[in-house]
Amino acid sequence: MVREATRSPYSPMNRTVVALLLPVVCSISARDAAAQHGPPDLFAASRQARANGRFGMLLRQFRSDEPALNDHHEAGSKPAIANYRGACDIPAGFWVWQRPFWFVFRDGPGTWPARRPFGPEAACGPPDASEPDTEGMAWATKDLDAKDEWLLLEYAAPLRGTSLEVHETHNPGAIAAVAILTPQGDELEMWRNRDVKSTAEAQRILHIDLPLGFEFERVKLYLASEAVAGRNEIDAVGLRDDKGEIHWACRATASSTLAPGPEVVSSVPAEVPRDPLLPWQRLRVETLDEQSAILRVNLSGGPRSIYFEGGCRMVPVPQFGAIVADSLRH
Ligand SMILES: [Ca+2]
């Protein structure tokens, strides 16, 4: 079954981000290393289109004919359009021409993936959510039981995936189908659950064996959220390769999210000045649009999140560890 990856357009944003960088999950060097093994390189066009990591989170890819363009052409950010030379429902994003495909990326120069509680980005990286997930460390849909929910995950490099492990941390059971995106940008269904229903567990790890022989860098999960009452949260999606190694997604987008604000921010994170003499530091933060926001503090025991409601206030932050603050200005 072939579907096309779609996504709602996001609004342009103008916000300042305060941050110390958490370890960067995406690794260009890993992608390059993978590319050196086992020709042919089916994802050569995708890798070249990403231009050494300046573009990421591929939303759409379609074959076209652009005789007037060089092999690589960066056409900038474009709004969503209904049709371009026969390709339909193209989401907003950065257009990159890498012969013979157009690639439309969510992330491009001057943007940075947001880190919001309950955002699809919370499904990136290894599992870190507790049950109940009061800190928003797992992706949650906007509504409890809406139809047509999906989660699109991008990994740091193309893999020969043999199985998935989906960490369902709240109201498990809603995953109805798994698809991969081929090197040509087509969607190919790998697994389907025709009997979606609630399970007796509070949370679970769903293991899904994948047909062998496919190489891919993006996976799309479809949820039948309407068939499993309550919000169906996903904390992480591990992809096991043909060497038995597990990989975690580095970027994600979704049909909807409980998270406030857009999926990307427009500023490169900067360091937060700290007072080395204080065990706690009071950081003046101001949310945009009176929305709630989150501070992520990377402690020795792992990341923790600190919530506060919209407005401007002083927030105590442990002195040790890194701070990542999204949707804030200071
Ligand atoms: Ca549901």
pTM beyond 0.85:
no
pLDDT at 146: 96
pLDDT at 116: 83
pLDDT at 223: 98
Separation of CA 188 and ligand 1 centre (Å): 24
Separation of CA 192 and ligand 1 centre (Å): 18
pLDDT at 11: 32
From the list 236, 46, 60, the residue with the least C-alpha distance to 158 is 46
Kindly report the backbone phi and psi dihedral angles of residue 304, in degrees, each rounded to the nearest multiple of 5, phi listed first.
Answer: -130, 155
Mean predicted lDDT score pLDDT of the chain:
78
Separation of CA 229 and ligand 1 centre (Å): 4
Separation of CA 233 and ligand 1 centre (Å): 9
Separation of CA 287 and ligand 1 centre (Å): 29
Cβ contact 97:116 at 8 Å: no
Task: Compute how many other C-beta atoms are within 10 angstroms of the C-beta atom of residue 29.
Answer: 10
Separation of CA 36 and ligand 1 centre (Å): 42
Question: What is the chain's pLDDT, residue by residue, as a tens digit (330 residues)?
Answer: 444 443 333 333 322 233 322 233 333 444 454 445 556 889 999 999 999 889 999 999 999 999 999 999 999 999 999 999 999 999 999 999 999 999 999 999 878 788 788 999 999 999 988 877 778 899 999 999 999 999 999 999 999 999 999 999 999 999 999 999 999 999 999 999 999 999 988 899 999 999 998 999 999 999 999 999 999 999 999 999 999 999 999 999 999 999 888 888 765 444 444 444 444 444 545 444 445 555 555 444 555 555 555 444 445 554 444 444 444 443
Separation of CA 169 and ligand 1 centre (Å): 13
Separation of CA 226 and ligand 1 centre (Å): 5
b/e sequence 104-122, b meaning 16+ C-beta within 10 Å = bbbbbeebebbbbbbbbbb
Separation of CA 77 and ligand 1 centre (Å): 34
pLDDT at 305: 59
Separation of CA 271 and ligand 1 centre (Å): 39
Separation of CA 232 and ligand 1 centre (Å): 5
Separation of CA 148 and ligand 1 centre (Å): 11
Separation of CA 228 and ligand 1 centre (Å): 5
Separation of CA 230 and ligand 1 centre (Å): 4
Question: Which tens digit of pLDDT belongs to each residue from 254-271?
Answer: 999 998 888 887 654 444
Separation of CA 149 and ligand 1 centre (Å): 9
- Listing from the earlier edge strand, what are the strands of the sheet with 302-308? 18-19, 322-326, 293-299, 302-308
Question: Which tens digit of pLDDT belongs to each residue from 271-307?
Answer: 444 444 444 444 545 444 445 555 555 444 555 555 5
Measured CA to CA, the distance from residue 325 to residue 307 in angstroms comes to 10
Sign of CA dihedral 22, 11, 90, 177: positive
